[in-house]
Structure 1
Amino acid sequence: MNDQSLLLWIIGAILTFTGLAGLLLPLIPGAPLLFLGLLFGAWAENFRFVGLWTLLALAGMAGLTYLVEFAATALGARKYGGSQRAMVGAVLGGLVGMAFGVPGILLGPIAGAVIGELSLQRTLDQASRAGFGTVVGMAIGVAGKLAIGIAMIGLFLVVRLF
């Protein structure tokens, strides 16, 4: 292993671990960093083991983490009695909340679901249930993102080692 390969492996490991942490923590783009870390790992060996098709699969899995996060948030609101408007509000609240840092990321989807329900003249209790469902959905979404991230690392290792 030459110095360049070693440096690429070190960068890849740092990006991979940061990306894995980012799947749990707001404001860190976990999936893209995780993918970049694995890409650097493949590059360290001149793509000899991990090639284009594996990298495309890993990129698709990274994209899937965002779909899982938004879908779980919306479906959590729905599961706890929220309307279609609460589901849309949760997703829009999450997107708008990104502009306001960690508090916005955490509270935006909840506020969006509650506002969506209140706009349909639902009671505060009904709207609060949709907001709670959003919290449950967000937690499930984080677990789903983490599972996909671990699967990405697993796929990389299987292709690399076998």
Structure 2
Amino acid sequence: MADDNLDLLEKQIETLEKRIFGDADKDSSYPKIVDTLAGLKHQFVNAVANTKKAGPVLNRMGELNDYLDPDFAEPLMTTREAKIESILAEEDHIHQTAKYLENIKDLADVLGSEHIKVVPELEGKLQELSKIHLEQQITMLSKQLVQWDEIVTRLELQSQSSEAED
């Protein structure tokens, strides 16, 4: 087991070295890389030293990484029974989602058909048709309002003439 872990670690190091050095001679490049990394560390420390908020954050980096780990909160949140209960509470929703996914799978041929693929090309025509339809509705509404106005005017005139006769 330990030998397997050591072999795995050595392979990872070899892969990393290959990515860093490529075909270059790594023995001659190591000092340059170490010097570069040391210089970068020095620049980073100087940059952080000038800010008041960065230092405390960097000091708590390990703690922050623990909090960001998805496995960190799981034991704190629920017991096994609570997890089972939660899943069972969502059972109907899970079955409904599975049914919808099956429907999508069944309709995959239709969704991938040529008719659906040309929809983006027809978007401009659809917008033009929508504009024409809206203009027609406005025209029809205007005509209807004019007719209602004529009817109301006629009824008002009739009402005034009948009042004048009385």
Report the TM-score when normalising by structure 2.
0.24
Specify which structure has the bigger relative contact order, considering alpha-carbon pairs within 8 angstroms and separated by 6 or more residues: 1
Larger Rg: 2
Report the TM-score when normalising by structure 1.
0.24
